[in-house]
Structures are given as structure tokens and as C-alpha cells.
Amino acid sequence: MVSYKSLSGAARRGRLEWMCRQGVPVTAQSAAAVRTLLQGAVTDDERIVLVRILGNLYTEEDATGYNADILLDLRALANDGNKEVAHAAVSTFAGIGYLPGSDALLKDAFDHQLLDPQDYSREMLRLMATAPADAWAGMLDRLAAQSGMSVADTLIVPLQQDPALLKKYASANLERLRQFIEKNEPVFLDAPDQFDLNLATRYANWLRAMACIESQRSGMAADDVLVGTLSVPGTDGRKIIAYLLSPEATPLLRSAHADSPAAGLVDIVGRYAAQYPGSMPLQQTAMVVTHGAAPPRGESR
């Protein structure tokens, strides 16, 4: 911290960013120095980085002896007049893990527009990684109250966008999350020749989220989980189309050479659409999937 204080302007912010990435020694001296700086004459940009550094000094074993003070400081900074500083404090506090009142802090931040709906869902998903079982029901209820989407959809979007969120999940909570999302599978209720693109997008996000969870549980690659799930005999062809239409499926489609598992899925799509030649939605989406697939080996487009 001494080297930081000897600099000025952009160089100070740059040094702080570097220190945040590299990590500062987890000592009482570091904690005291960061707390003093936060109370002194520093710019808001510097305070944002200092907040993150302060959060990194919180450890389960309280190595600095300042854990209680760090939490109090972060709670106070969550009400800072600068919204970016307050946002950093809320996110840092939530990143520490579940503590009594953590979800209430997030709800308050959402109510005061420090967190948008996507940020709120993502932070709640992070918090649920370490939350006790008896806290889950209340957290899910709060998510339901803050979103126009179903709770499952609210969680699925940040989860499939950032699977690394699952790395902090205890095995019991990972299973709890899996069961909750599994029972909220979007269902194709229309006649088999109908294809709803909005429902297809929801299903693709749901399937990707389930695959990410299973990948974290088993160590299998998410794409292998997806192919295995969609290849089960009797799977509704619209589920396969829905996923293969998603941007996340592009690498999988490009690997669909002859005899590959992905090629088998493309073949199923073609055969499913052929059953309903009068359905323009199916014909058009099947064409998009087929066109996006890799050509047979030795051929080129």
C-alpha cells in the first residue's frame, strides 16, 4: 500500500487494480491500511477498487482479525452516495458468502436500483451457493417477487451465461439447485407440428443450465452432457431444434461431421421436420440447423 500512496492520478488507480489482481498480504496491517484509505481523500474510482481489496481480506479463519470491521465497512459503503461504490460494496459483500442478512442487503440494493434484475439474479445465485437449506425458500420467494419471469428462468439466465458460478456450490446445494431447475423444465404443449421460438429459447437456456450443473457434478464436458440428453430415443425433435438454434450450440454444430454424435442430432432434426412438410416454422428452423452443421468430411461449402 505504501507504493500506491506515492503515486498520483491514473497511476494510482492502475497500481490498485494490479494489487487487487495479484492480492495483498492477508494481514492486520493490510486491513488497517485499506480501511484508513477508504476513509481518506481518495477518488471514487480508487474507492471501488479498495472495496474489492477489502473484501478479499475477509477470510473464514479471520486471518486479519478484522472480519467484523470489514463486514461493517461494506454494509456502510452499500449506502454510499456514489452508486458505483455502493454497487461494488454490495457485490463484494455477497461474494463473501451467505451471512444472516445477506439476501436482505441484496433486496435493498435492488429496491434502490443499485442492482438491475440481471445483477440481482446473479448475486442471489452466488449467495445460494453457501446458503443453508432453510434459507432457500425465502430466497426463492424474494426472487419471484422481483422478476416478471418464473424463478427458474430468473436463475437460468445468469447460470448458463456464467457456469463458473457453480464452482462455489457445496454438493448438497448443487443438488438442491439441480432439483429445483429440473422440475421447472419448459414444456412444448402445442401440437407436434407447431414451434414456438420464445419457448424454444427458454428450453435451450434451461437445457444448457442443466448441462452446466451436471458438468460441475460429474466432470463431464457440458456439450457431452447435452448430446447425451438430446440423443435419448423418443426425445421430442423440437427440443433438439431448440437447442441447436441457440448461439451456444454453434461449436457443436460445426463439429457435426459424419458419424459424430452431433451429426446424429442434425439427422433427427431433418427427419422430424420431414414428418410435417406443411409446417413452415419447422421447415425453416430445420433448414437453419442443417445449414449451420459442418459438411461431411472431405466436402466444403
Tens of pLDDT along 170-212? Answer: 899 999 999 989 988 999 988 999 999 999 999 999 999 999 9
3-state secondary structure of 164: helix
- Spatial distance between the Cα atoms of 125 and 65, rounded to a whole number of angstroms: 29
Rounded to whole angstroms, how far apart are CA atoms 268 and 155?
30
The model carries a pTM of 0.77
What cell was used for 14? 492502475
Instruction: List, in sequence order, the alpha helices (H) in 129-249.
Output: 133-146, 151-161, 171-182, 197-218, 222-230, 237-245
pLDDT at residue 27, rounded to an integer: 95
pLDDT of res. 297: 47
Instruction: Give the phi and the psi of residue 27 in degrees, each rounded to 5.
Output: -135, 165
Question: Average per-residue pLDDT in the chain?
Answer: 88
> In this structure, which amino acid lies at residue 179?
Q
Query: Quick one: pLDDT at residue 19?
Result: 86
Round to whole Å and give the CA distance between 266 and 243.
11
Q: Is the pLDDT of residue 145 over 80?
A: no
Q: Looking at residue 41, what is its pLDDT?
A: 82
What is the mean predicted confidence (pLDDT) over 72-97?
94
For position 295, what pLDDT does the model report? 56
Tell me, what's the pLDDT at 301? 46
Average pLDDT rounded to a whole number, residues 285-296? 78
pLDDT at 96 over 60: yes
CB-CB contact of 57 with 93 (8 Å)? no
